[in-house]
Every structure is written in structure tokens, then in C-alpha cells.
Amino acid sequence: MIFHIAETKLRMPTPQEALPGRAEPIATARTHFVNGRPLKGPYPESTQSVLFGMGCFWGAERLFWPVEGVWVTAVGFAGGLTPNPTYRETTTGLTGHAEVVLVVYDPRAVPFSRLLKLFWEGHDPTQGMRQGNDVGTTYRSVIYAPTDAQLAEARASRAAYAAALQAAGRGPVTTEIAPAPPFYFAEAEHQQYLARNPDGYCGLQGTGVACPAAPAGDGAGA
């Protein structure tokens, strides 16, 4: 069967279309370029993690590593079908993965709500399978979280931000919020890319609409 890449980039691949991937993880950096901490852990017991997809992961990662209370960040892929994909494979649209940032943080030092505010205000969550000039499923807006409490808070914040966007004349939010699937680290060259290449590409743009505090306990929705 012949697939047209332009078409596959705008829809999720079926299991029959997805690239096979590989059993072993691809090589990546050992430590964070900015803070020197181990990318793959071990992480302190006090930390929690979340995956944010908001377009090109180079610019998205840079938003989070300077935040006090964030222990380490890393870029990679999640939410698709292909195990242990390479960056080049994800660009075909045939893995189903989104580019995401792993944020490992200490909730005693930085509340999850602050990370959510950075997420919502740091990109345009109304664009579906794209972010600005970056087009395809890889660039969709996602929040993948491992705990029920995080998911409920993320859904409440989505509802609050959707109302703010609607009031500003923006379209509906297309962000997917779901339990965290497997996370696959991207190659070393992509980790903390904009710290090593300060003039590198970053197409990330917000809407200019501030994210209000979410109503307590409003975590309904998928």
C-alpha cells in the first residue's frame, strides 16, 4: 500500500500503517546540558513527572528548565504506536507520536498549576495537528500525566483556558489530555537544543491570552 506523507502527517496512523520501530531504546544524552542532572534518573522520590506536547519540542523544553522546582527536563516522543522511534521516523507521520517534553518537578517547590500556566500560555492549543508553520500530528497539543490528580487538574485548567480563549474570540481547544503512555527519549542532539544552539529555530508562539486559575474540583472531561 502506498501512503502519501502529506496526508499521513495530518491524521493518526493505523496499526497497519505504523512504522515497526525497534525493541531497544535509541541512544541519547546521559545528563542535562544545563544543570548536569541525569536525564533518565534516578529522580528524587519527592518529584513527579508530566509530559507536555506543544509543538516543536526544542522551544517547549526551554520554557521549563529554568523554573525553580523543575529537577530535570528532556525531549522525546509519546502518544503513538511505534516503539523507540527515531526523530526522522516521527517526521514521517507514521509513528503517531507527538513531540513532548518530560518535566520532572518537585511539587513542594513548584505547583502543577504553574507548569500548566506555562503550557497553556506558551503555545496555541486551538490548532489541531499543527503549531504555527509546523504541520502534522507530531506537533499536536497534549498533556500526558501519570496520576489521577494531575489529570483532573489539567482538565480543569483546560476548561478554564478554553473559556478565556472563547471570550477572546479564539477557536476551541484541541489539546488531548490522557494518562501518560510510554515516553521515548529523543537523540542526544535534540536534548536542550536551544541551550547549545541559542540562535536555533523556535516557532513557539502563544495566543496572548492569559490562563486563569481553574475552578477547584472541576476535572470533568476526557
C-alpha angle 212-146-217 in degrees, rounded to nearest 5: 40
Q: State the Cα–Cα distance between residues 139 and 55, nearest whole angstrom.
A: 4
Q: State the Cα–Cα distance between residues 98 and 139, nearest whole angstrom.
A: 6
7: CB partners within 8 A, 6+ apart: none
Give which of 96, 87, 82, 165 is closest to 129, Cα–Cα: 96
Q: Tell me whether residue 56 is one of the annotated catalytic residues.
A: yes
Residue 20: phi, psi to the nearest 5? Answer: -75, -25
Give which of 110, 101, 100, 58 is closest to 79, Cα–Cα: 100
Assess contact for 200 and 137: CB atoms under 8 A: no
Kind plus residue range of the DSSP H or E element containing 176: strand 176-179
- Spot the catalytic one: 18, 29, 54, 56: 56
Active site residues: 56
